[in-house]
Structure 1
Amino acid sequence: MPAIPGGEQFAHDGSTEIGVLLSHGFTGSPFSMRPWADQLVAEGFSVRVPLLPGHGTRWQDMNRTTWPQWYGAVESGFLELRERCSLVFAFGLSMGGTLCLRLAQNHGDAVAGLVLVNPSVMSLRKEMALLPVLSRIVPSVRPISDDIAKPGVTEHAYPRTPLRALASLTKLWGAVRTDLGAVTSPLLLLHSAVDNVVEPENAKVVLAGVSSPDVTEVVLENSRHVATIDNDADLIFSQSVAFAKRVAAGDRA
């Protein structure tokens, strides 16, 4: 089944100096990343935005996939850019940020820098304790999508949350939290002041756990979870471009 309109994977070959891998979030698609990708293309960067397995079609398809498959798509796009570009950055939204953290844990300094928007590494919701059992009985629950402050904007994510896939996401969280100290790449972390999907504790855990000597934190005051298509989108885009250019120039925060 093809991806939703606007949710297809995206690739652009631009600069051989700077490449950027962009990863969308859980139950989403490249739709939420395409404006960001377009801005990076306008800056002359090479860009890859993979469609993660099980995404962009039907929520049932996602229940047939697990986090190593999602990570594999991100890693494949990263390695493709590595063959072309001198420096490759990894930018991610929500679970996409989690996958980018895993990429930095596995590839070290080969990841020139990370830009994470509302990354997830844990949840404080009490019902998550029931997930291992519930996911074997109930295929899906109500969605966690479209947490966006800007009126009339949708990310076109799934209308249901696939529970087997969510259970796999929690395993990714655990692996990433355990290895946060292995992250040494320069880091720009942007998180929304109000986020109804990913609790603020997630940003605190990431910032406290990484070993990156170059870390910048930005609070997004006018956006909710899907900030890449919300009111602070332009701020995210401009900050990420400036970050990539600064790191490429050899400057440290």
Structure 2
Amino acid sequence: MITDNSFFLPGNENGVLLIHGLTGTPTEMRILAKGLNKAGYSVFCMQLAGHCGDEADLCRTTWQDWYQSVEDALQFLASKLSGCLFVGGLSMGALLSLKLAADHPDQIKGVGVFGATFYYDGWSMPWFSKTFFPILPLLKKLHLFQKRSFIEQPPYGLKDERIRATIVESMFSGDSAAAGLAGNPFPALAEMQLLAKTVKRQLPQVTSPCLIMHAEHDDIANINTNARMIEKTVNAPTKFVSLKESYHMITIDRQRRDVINTAVAFFDKIVQQYAASPK
């Protein structure tokens, strides 16, 4: 179950499944994972199907493949632990987390929604992303532009310039397992659009408490059309936190410690509620 780039940090009987974003790697969740583990949680940082390889590996998978790997990871974690199970994801990983909560309301006790991305409409995104990306599923069906990629541009989701330089160097070195791919292949972006539509329809089915954290000036996904939309649509208690000193990659940017501390407090409160409830 644990693939080459996934990792499991054993702790107590309460567990957190962490999910990275499109073209990303489990590394982008490592700091958060260590923080949660230090607070006592068992943490599984999974690798999505098709990721940590090259663009061809990614394009051979669909959003259903990505989600199946998430469900498999949940069952892996559930087989090891007897306490509360939580899920958290960054960017596309946040969408997969919400879908998992909608599909498994009895297992998932809380959701960490970090930089959720339904729409690529942040301030650094080119004008055509808002109109062109939504038609990518049609282009994929027609087998058009399938060899093209959208190459990310500065600031690459990072406000911290030092961290940005390190990540960009790794990203363009060709080591996709360390920092992910530099480009987003159009076929994968098409699958992302299909996933976003599916999860948006399922948001009213989310009943587990949601911690929604998003950069106020997110360069990839606008806080109002993404995070606020989730807050208004889920049928669950929500805690909304906007971050002023981070961009999209909030799990590794300047306020990463705030993300850890807020997530620990949020999950701890739920664990305490279940511990106090009548058996």
SS in 1 for 2:162: coil
Aligned to 1:37: 33
User: How far 1:123 moved relative to its partner?
Assistant: 4.3
Aligned to 1:209: 233
Q: Distance in 2 between matches of 1:147 and 1:111?
A: 28
Contact kept? 2:137, 2:193, Cα under 8 Å: no
Q: Which amino acid aligns with 1:147?
A: G
Q: Distance in 2 between matches of 1:13 and 1:114?
A: 20
Q: Tell whether 2:158 aligns with 1:148.
A: yes
Q: Distance in 1 between matches of 2:148 and 2:162?
A: 26
Aligned to 2:249: 226
Aligned to 1:72: 68
Q: Deviations over 1:2-33 (max 9, x none)?
A: x9xxx8211122211x1000000011001100
Q: Tell whether 2:184 aligns with 1:161.
A: yes
Which of these residues, 23, 33, 45, is aligned with residue 27 of structure 1? 23
Q: Distance in 2 between matches of 1:205 and 1:99?
A: 16
Structure 1 pair 121/129, CA: closer, same or farther in 2 (3 Å)?
Answer: closer
Which of these residues, 104, 108, 112, is aligned with residue 107 of structure 1? 104
Bigger shift: 122-131 or 99-108? 122-131
User: How far 1:78 moved relative to its partner?
Assistant: 1.4
Contact kept? 1:143, 1:158, Cα under 8 Å: no
User: How far 1:184 moved relative to its partner?
Assistant: 0.5
Q: Tell whether 2:51 aligns with 1:55.
A: yes
Contact kept? 1:21, 1:47, Cα under 8 Å: yes
Q: Distance in 2 between matches of 1:60 and 1:152?
A: 31
Q: TM-score, normalised by structure 2?
A: 0.83
Q: Distance in 1 between matches of 2:257 and 2:152?
A: 24
Contact kept? 2:50, 2:57, Cα under 8 Å: yes
User: How far 1:109 moved relative to its partner?
Assistant: 3.0
Q: Distance in 1 between matches of 2:8 and 2:25?
A: 14
Q: Which amino acid aligns with 1:173?
A: A
Structure 1 pair 194/101, CA: closer, same or farther in 2 (3 Å)?
Answer: same
Aligned to 2:127: none
Q: TM-score, normalised by structure 1?
A: 0.91
Structure 1 pair 101/129, CA: closer, same or farther in 2 (3 Å)?
Answer: closer
User: How far 1:79 moved relative to its partner?
Assistant: 1.6
Q: Which amino acid aligns with 1:237?
A: I
Aligned to 2:125: none
Aligned length: 244
User: How far 1:40 moved relative to its partner?
Assistant: 1.4
Q: Which amino acid aligns with 2:135?
A: L
Q: Distance in 2 between matches of 1:130 and 1:181?
A: 25
User: How far 1:133 moved relative to its partner?
Assistant: 4.3
Q: Tell whether 2:132 aligns with 1:127.
A: yes
SS in 1 for 2:180: coil
User: How far 1:103 moved relative to its partner?
Assistant: 0.2
Q: Distance in 1 between matches of 2:150 and 2:199?
A: 26
Unaligned runs of 5+ in 1: none
Unaligned runs of 5+ in 2: 122-129, 172-178, 275-279
SS in 2 for 1:229: coil
Q: Percent identity?
A: 30
